[in-house]
Amino acid sequence: MLIGDAGTGIGSRIGGHVRRGGKKMREEHMKHTVVGITSEYRTSQTCAVCFQQLHQARYRRTINGEERIVNVHGAMECQNPDCPSFLQGRSIKPRDVNAAMNIAMAGASTLLHNRELPPFSRSA
C-alpha cells in the first residue's frame, strides 16, 4: 500500500512542537500489509492520463436570475485536447480519485526505478 506523506508530519514543526499526525492510521495499515510513504507533490493538480496540469472544474448556474460561472468543488478538469480522457469526453475527474492514482504511480516509480516521475518531482 502506498500513502502520501501529507499529514504525516515529516519534516514539519508547528509552533515549536513536532507534528505527530497520521501515525495511528499508518500503524493500523501496517498490521495488515506493507506500507510505503511517497511524496504527494502535485498529485491532485496533474492529470493521471496525460500528466498535464488540471484546472478547477466550472459550470454555469443561474443565481437570482443572473447566469454565473461557479467552481465545482472536488472536481478537476483536464483541458489538454490531446489527452485520451478529453477525447473520450471524460475530462472532468474527482480530485481525490485522480490524486490517489497519481500517488500510486509516483510511489510505484520510486519503488521500481528508484526515481520520481518528472511531473511529481520537486526538482523538475
For the stretch 54-81, pLDDT in tens is 999 999 999 899 999 999 999 999 999 9
Q: How far apart, in whole angstroms, are the C-alpha atoms of residue 77 and residue 95?
A: 9
Quote the pTM value.
Answer: 0.77
Instruction: Quote the mean pLDDT of the chain.
Output: 85
- pLDDT 10s digits, 2-45: 877 776 555 555 666 655 556 777 788 888 988 888 888 899 99
Q: How far apart, in whole angstroms, are the C-alpha atoms of residue 44 and residue 100?
A: 8
Q: Report whether 32 contacts 64 (CB < 8 A).
A: no
pLDDT at 40: 85
